[in-house]
Structure 1
Amino acid sequence: MVASGPSTRRVRLDQRTIVDGVLELARTEPTSRVTFKRLGEHLGVDASAMYRHFRNKDELVRASLDRISGWASEAGRASSGTWRERLEIVVTRTAELSLEYPAIGKEGAVTDPAGPGDASAVEFLLEMLVEAGLSGDALIRFYAAISGFMLAHSSAMANEAFQRGHAARDGSIPWISTFGPITLSDYPLVDAHRDALLAVDGMAVYRAGVSAILDSVERAVTA
């Protein structure tokens, strides 16, 4: 398909090319919403051409999230170490990718990719938990805890990065930015730990949550 305009280029349009374009826009224009119109401009094709490959924007977002899930899974499979170390690589990479592509990453908690990348990520998480020694109901319960926390929090960080385009996309946005004008002496524990609480950022919360879940896995296996 040939683009119109002064800088005409030939684009071979398929699902992979379209997802490549979406992710490039999400990375370079972190506060811009995904639209077929903007994507068509970026790829140099008519926006209507996208509908031959994706029925709607939701389907396109699912495919893009599936790509991100696949990348995170690949990072884990390429790594070495204990089950915990490899699992931490995947969950950390998921957060990093969500922040790198915030317009897509922010949808991770509410959109099911339902593709090969997502299936590979689920398989990897289960493999690591089985290697840890889990099975049966405990395996599914801890998978749900890790997956749910990972997607919810990485999506929340991506959404904040999307809303605040000037902010660094490394999870360093403060978890608590201020306690406002209230009198903290009425809240003695908050007052005593004020500076430490204000120093916590989104990625620190993410790592703490994942660590707590994995500590619970180890205790469950030992018990």
Structure 2
Amino acid sequence: MTQPGTPEGTGPRARRGRPPSTSLNQQVVLDAALALVEREGPDALTLRRLGADLGANHTAVLRHFSGKDEILRGLAERLIEEALEGFAPAGTWRATLESLARRVRAACRAHPQVAVLVASRVSRRTAEFRGADVVIGALRQAGFDDREAARYYRSLVQTALAVSSYEAAFAALDSGAREGDRLAWRREYLAVPPATYPHLAAAAPYLAEADEDDQFETTLSLLLDAVELRASRT
């Protein structure tokens, strides 16, 4: 029971299992931020709420991060770190880019709430720099000069993150909404009148076959086919 005069949420019971504020560091804060977002969604991430989860005043968090924006960039870096864990370039530039894109997708699928929140951010940290170096190196291996490699790097990364974050946003929906959207391909789309939508009606029986895995792999293949075609003209 909280002692008289002790602020609610700061007594011994509230702090049980939480690190004392003196043990805080960037990794501990990011662990708590990631857990909070995954548990309650992106809107739950505030400095005050994060401080409460850490058993500390929110000002203790500000000793390690300049503000919420830097925490978000730290979470973006976490996703990239997870994607790169154990990664090594493959024998060909295309296989390297395929492997890295699939790893980014897997990290976003593992943490959909976090991916929705930070997929568009630039972390400006070591893992992101390493990933950029790998992609640009693969593009140079394909035969592109530095200017072209820079352009295609940004296009490839943004497309991979856009597809992955779109899928993460779907995964972050409540189960009823997800199931309703999945059923639509087998229900509403199959029921469209052919006289009004002839092309859609013809293709409708096959739309449900294009699941999330197929969509990602198809998009990846289309993108890398285009890169390979341009490389052959270089």
- TMscore range, shorter length: 0.7 to 0.9
Higher Rg: 2
* Partners of 2:42 and 2:117 within 8 A in 1: no
Give the drift of 1:155: 1.6
- Work out which of the residue numbers 112, 135, 148 in structure 2 matches 1:138: 148
Q: In the TM superposition, what whole-angstrom CA distance separates every residue of 1:46-82 from its partner, at most 9, and x where no partner exists?
A: 33321222232222111110121233234433x5443
Aligned to 1:34: 45
Quick check: 153-162 or 38-47, which moved more? 38-47
Secondary structure of 1:25's counterpart equals helix
Aligned to 1:129: 139
Give the drift of 1:126: 0.7
Give the drift of 1:138: 2.9
Distance 2:155 2:78 in 1: 22
Distance 1:51 1:180 in 2: 54
Which structure carries more relative contact order (alpha carbon 8 Å, separation 6+)? Answer: 1
Question: How do residues 1-223 of structure 1 correspond to structure 2 at under 5 angstroms?
Answer: 4-6=11-13, 7=16, 9-11=18-20, 12-29=23-40, 33-77=44-88, 80-162=90-172, 164-166=173-175, 174=182, 177=185, 178-179=188-189, 182-223=192-233
* Partners of 1:4 and 1:44 within 8 A in 2: no
Count matched residues: 215
Q: In the TM superposition, what whole-angstrom CA distance separates every residue of 1:186-216 from its partner, at most 9, and x where no partner exists?
A: 2222111112113323342222111111112
Alignment RMSD, CA only? 2.9
For structure 2, which runs of at least 5 residues remain unmatched after alignment? 1-9
Q: 1:185 to 1:56 in 2, by over 3 A?
A: farther
Distance 2:86 2:70 in 1: 25
One-letter amino acid of the structure 2 residue matched with residue 189 of structure 1: H
Q: Percent identity?
A: 26
* Partners of 2:94 and 2:224 within 8 A in 1: yes
Distance 1:62 1:176 in 2: 36
Q: In the TM superposition, what whole-angstrom CA distance separates every residue of 1:92-148 from its partner, at most 9, and x where no partner exists?
A: 111221222222211344322222221111111111112222224432332222112
Q: 1:174 to 1:44 in 2, by over 3 A?
A: same
* Partners of 1:36 and 1:57 within 8 A in 2: yes
Q: 1:107 to 1:28 in 2, by over 3 A?
A: closer
Distance 1:100 1:32 in 2: 19
Distance 2:232 2:18 in 1: 60
* Partners of 2:18 and 2:53 within 8 A in 1: no
* Partners of 1:4 and 1:45 within 8 A in 2: no
